[in-house]
C-alpha cells in the first residue's frame, strides 16, 4: 500500500501537536512529520493538521497572528490543490482567521474556559472526515477552549446549513441540540464545519485526545480513520 504523507504544523504555543502526531502514527501507512511555522514548503502533503494550543499566546485574537505565519501561505496553497486540512481547536481559529474557513470564534458565552467531555451529533457522513460514522450518531469528544463560540453573518450560516457543511453539532447524549446542550454559545450549536470544496475541516472538539480506547473512548479515531481511508482509496484509484 502506498504511504500517506502527513504534516503536523507546530506554532509557538501549540500544545496538541504531539497528540495529533500520535493519533496519525496509529495508521501503518501514515508517516507523519512536524512542520515548523516559520518554514514554507513546496512538496506535496496528503494531509496537514493545524493542532490545538495557544499560538502566539492568543494575543490580539486567538489564531490571528498564527494565520500570518510563513507556513500558512504554503498551507493555503496546499488547500487550493486539494490537500486535506484539519484544524483542531486553535487550528480551527487559525483557519477562520486566515480565511480558509468562514466565520470567527468569539469568547464562550459563559465567560468561562471550558475543559470537559462533550457530546456531539454527527450531522453528515458523506464527507471525507465523517464517512466512518453513522449520520445522526452521538459521539463524545473532549473540549478545552475559552474562545469556541462560533459566529458568522446570517448569510454565511444559511449557506453552511444549505450546503450541509456543518459536520458536528454540540448535543446532549440523545443527540438533541439546543441551548442546554450548547457549551459555548455557538450559533446553531456549530462545533465543526468544512469549506465549500470539502477538503478543509475546522472543529473545536479534540478528536486526537480520544483516539485510543485507553483514553476512555476512541470516537476521535474514527475521524482520522475516515480521512486515511479516503486518501488510501484515492491513491489506489490513481495507481
- Catalytic annotation, residues: 89, 206, 208
Query: Please, which residue, 118 or 184, has the CB nearer to another protein?
Result: 184
**Phi-psi domain of 236 (left: phi exceeds 0; alpha: psi -120 through 50; beta: other):** alpha
Query: Please, which residue, 71 or 84, has the CB nearer to another protein?
Result: 71
84-88 and 30-36 beta bridge pairing: unpaired
Residues 185-214 that bind another protein (CB under 8 A): 185
Distance CA 233, CA 105 (A): 34
Residue 114 contacts another protein per CB under 8 A: no
Distance CA 88, CA 131 (A): 18
Query: Please, which residue, 65 or 223, has the CB nearer to another protein?
Result: 65
Q: Least Å distance between CB 110 and another protein?
A: 8
Distance CA 63, CA 90 (A): 6
Query: Please, which residue, 3 or 110, has the CB nearer to another protein?
Result: 110
3-state secondary structure of 171: coil
Judged by CB under 8 A, which stretch of 25-33, 114-122, 146-154, 166-174 contacts another protein?
Answer: 146-154
Q: Least Å distance between CB 106 and another protein?
A: 6
Residue 97 contacts another protein per CB under 8 A: yes
Judged by CB under 8 A, which stretch of 115-123, 125-133, 150-158, 195-203 contacts another protein?
Answer: 150-158
3-state secondary structure of 185: coil
Alpha helices in the chain (DSSP H): 17-24, 70-80, 90-97, 154-162, 219-238
| Residues within the interface to another protein (CB under 8 A) | 60-61, 64-65, 68, 96-97, 103-104, 106-111, 149, 151-153, 185
Amino acid at each position: 500500500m502506498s504511504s500517506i504523507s502527513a504534516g503536523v504544523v507546530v506554532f509557538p504555543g501549540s500544545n496538541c501537536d504531539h497528540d495529533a502526531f500520535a493519533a496519525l502514527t496509529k495508521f501503518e501507512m501514515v508517516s507523519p512529520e512536524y512542520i515548523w511555522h516559520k518554514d514554507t514548503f513546496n512538496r506535496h502533503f496528503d494531509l496537514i493538521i493545524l493542532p490545538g494550543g495557544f499560538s502566539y499566546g492568543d494575543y490580539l485574537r486567538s489564531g490571528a497572528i498564527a494565520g500570518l505565519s510563513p507556513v500558512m501561505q504554503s498551507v493555503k496553497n496546499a488547500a487550493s490543490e486539494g490537500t486535506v486540512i484539519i484544524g483542531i481547536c486553535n487550528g480551527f481559529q487559525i483557519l477562520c482567521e486566515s480565511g480558509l474557513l468562514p466565520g470567527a470564534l468569539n469568547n464562550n458565552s459563559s465567560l468561562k474556559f471550558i475543559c470537559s467531555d462533550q457530546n456531539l451529533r454527527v450531522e453528515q457522513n458523506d464527507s471525507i472526515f465523517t464517512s466512518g460514522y453513522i449520520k445522526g450518531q452521538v459521539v463524545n469528544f473532549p473540549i478545552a477552549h475559552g474562545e469556541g463560540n462560533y459566529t458568522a453573518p446570517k448569510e454565511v450560516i444559511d449557506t453552511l446549513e444549505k450546503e450541509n457543511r456543518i459536520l458536528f453539532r454540540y448535543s446532549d447524549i440523545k443527540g438533541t441540540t439546543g441551548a442546554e446542550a450548547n457549551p459555548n454559545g455557538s450559533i446553531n450549536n456549530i462545533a465543526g464545519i468544512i469549506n465549500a470544496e470539502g477538503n478543509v475541516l475546522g472543529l473545536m472538539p479534540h478528536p486526537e485526545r480520544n483516539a485510543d480506547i485507553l483514553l476512555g473512548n476512541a470516537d476521535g479515531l474514527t475521524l482520522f480513520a475516515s480521512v486515511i481511508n479516503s486518501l488510501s482509496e484515492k491513491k489506489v484509484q490513481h495507481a
